C-alpha cells in the first residue's frame, strides 16, 4: 500500500520518528517535506534547517522511503503524483490550507500523540 506522510521535520525528534515509523509500518512510505516558503507562510517563521537539509535528514533516517519536497502553491500536486492509498496525519497535524479530506481521493488516518504524559508538545490544550 502506498502511504503518504508530510511535515516540516525541522530537526527530527522522537515525535517525528514515532509518526514516520507508524506510517512506514502501514506500507510503502512517501514523505513530503515542506518547502521553506511554505513553512514561512503557514507557521509565520522560517525553519531552523533549510528544505534541502531537512530532506537529507529524513532520507538518511528513512532510506527505504521515497522523500520529496512539497510544492509551493499546489499542495495537492504531490498527492496526485504519488496516488497514495492512505495519508497518515500526526495527532495535531492539519491538512494544508484550502485542502479538504474530499480532495484527497484516499482515506486519512490520524495517529495518537507520542508519549503525551512526557512531552509538553503532545499535550492538547
Q: What is the CATH number of domain 2-120?
A: 3.40.50.620
For residue 6, is pLDDT > 70?
A: yes
Is 69 or 113 the better-scoring residue by pLDDT? 69
- Give the model's pLDDT for residue 120: 47
Residue 71, all three cell numbers: 510544492
Side-by-side strand order, sheet with 66-69: 66-69, 28-33, 2-7, 86-89, 108-110
Q: What is the pLDDT of residues 37-80, one digit of tens each?
A: 999 998 899 999 999 999 999 999 999 999 999 998 888 899 99
DSSP tag of 28: E
Mean pLDDT, the chain, whole residue set: 89
Amino acid at each position: 500500500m502506498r502511504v503518504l506522510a508530510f511535515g516540516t521535520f525541522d530537526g527530527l525528534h522522537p515525535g517525528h520518528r514515532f509518526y514516520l515509523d507508524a506510517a512506514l509500518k502501514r506500507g510503502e512510505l512517501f514523505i513530503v517535506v515542506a518547502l521553506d516558503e511554505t513553512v514561512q507562510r503557514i507557521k509565520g517563521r522560517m525553519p531552523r534547517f533549510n528544505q534541502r537539509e531537512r530532506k537529507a535528514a529524513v532520507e538518511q533516517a528513512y532510506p527505504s522511503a521515497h522523500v520529496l519536497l512539497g510544492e509551493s502553491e499546489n499542495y495537492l500536486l504531490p498527492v496526485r503524483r504519488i496516488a497514495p492509498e492512505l495519508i497518515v496525519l500526526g495527532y495535531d497535524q492539519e491538512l494544508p490550507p484550502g485542502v479538504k479530506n474530499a480532495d484527497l481521493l484516499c482515506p486519512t488516518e490520524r495517529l495518537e500523540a507520542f508519549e503525551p504524559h512526557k512531552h509538553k508538545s503532545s499535550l492538547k490544550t
